[in-house]
Amino acid sequence: MRKEKPSLSSILTESKTIDILKSLHDEPNNIRGLYRTVGGSLSTIVQRVRSLKQAGLIKETEGRRPGRFFELTHKGKSIVMVLKWFEPSASSTKLKLDSPKKWILALLYGLGQIKGSTRLEKMLFLLKEEFEIVDEPFYNFTPYLFGPFSPKILEDAKELQQNNLIEVTLEVFESTSYPSELSDAVFIRKNYKLTAAGEEIAKKILQELMKRRGVKEALFKLREFDSMPLSNLLNYVYREFPHFTPPHDLP
């Protein structure tokens, strides 16, 4: 029986895999060189190199040096560039837990994991526009690629991650609907959930927010929105808030 090819998401959660990719992004290397560079056990390095090769993220170099050297494929380079872009930088300032950030924490406590930055944006947008329970300074939304968007949400989520209040994991999807020349296309979704420290703080925040009229009902309804396929959620937002549909003149 043919063994099923592992998914990119499962491969990228394996120990040492990302370290190997980043190391090969610097220069081609062999098994022994990777072992010295990224550490761990030699058997683990061999297994991870095999998985990465099967996934089409690395390949053997062609005649550059004697022995089996490996380098990134085009798809592997794309993955590394995206992973580096998503890496949180070290936090240099003390966290100011203002009202918008509190709502992010409260939402994650009430809904659990939120899959994708687009969904996180829409949950916060609906809090403001659908339920009208936010009466303090909040996020300002403008129409963008997937409807209402506020870049400040992603900045705040990153700051909460840097301060160990939320955990952001990456989920990788390969394109199966594009022409063959684009078959290396990959998409990465950021999934958000609270850390243990974040749960303690978020619980207290939500308990305080629940004293407000309409908050409990809004969170109950938001669970329904959160369980929708993303396309259904976007269609709802476009229908109910047509002035936030994506502009036609975007590049």
The verdict on 119 and 234 lying in the same domain is yes
The verdict on 81 and 103 lying in the same domain is no
Whole-number pLDDT of residue 64: 59
Residue 65 has pLDDT above 80, yes or no: no
Inside any domain, residue 156: yes
Residue 55 has pLDDT above 90, yes or no: no
179-212 confidence digits (pLDDT tens): 444 445 567 788 999 999 999 999 999 999 999 8
| Per-residue confidence band for 13, with pLDDT thresholds at 50, 70 and 90 | confident
* Strand 69-72 relative to strand 29-30, pairing: antiparallel
Inside any domain, residue 94: no
The verdict on 74 and 113 lying in the same domain is no
Inside any domain, residue 127: yes
Full residue range of the structural domain in which residue 235 is found:
99-244
Structurally, the chain folds into a number of domains equal to 2
What's the Rg (C-alpha) of the chain?
A: 22
Residue ending a domain, choose from 51, 86, 121: 86
Count of beta carbons in the 10 Å neighbourhood of residue 116: 15
CATH number at residue 46: 1.10.10.10
Inside any domain, residue 139: yes
Please state, in angstroms and rounded to a whole number, the distance separating the CA atoms of residues 194 and 106: 10
Whole-number pLDDT of residue 66: 58
pTM of the model: 0.70
Residue showing tokens 């290396």: 184
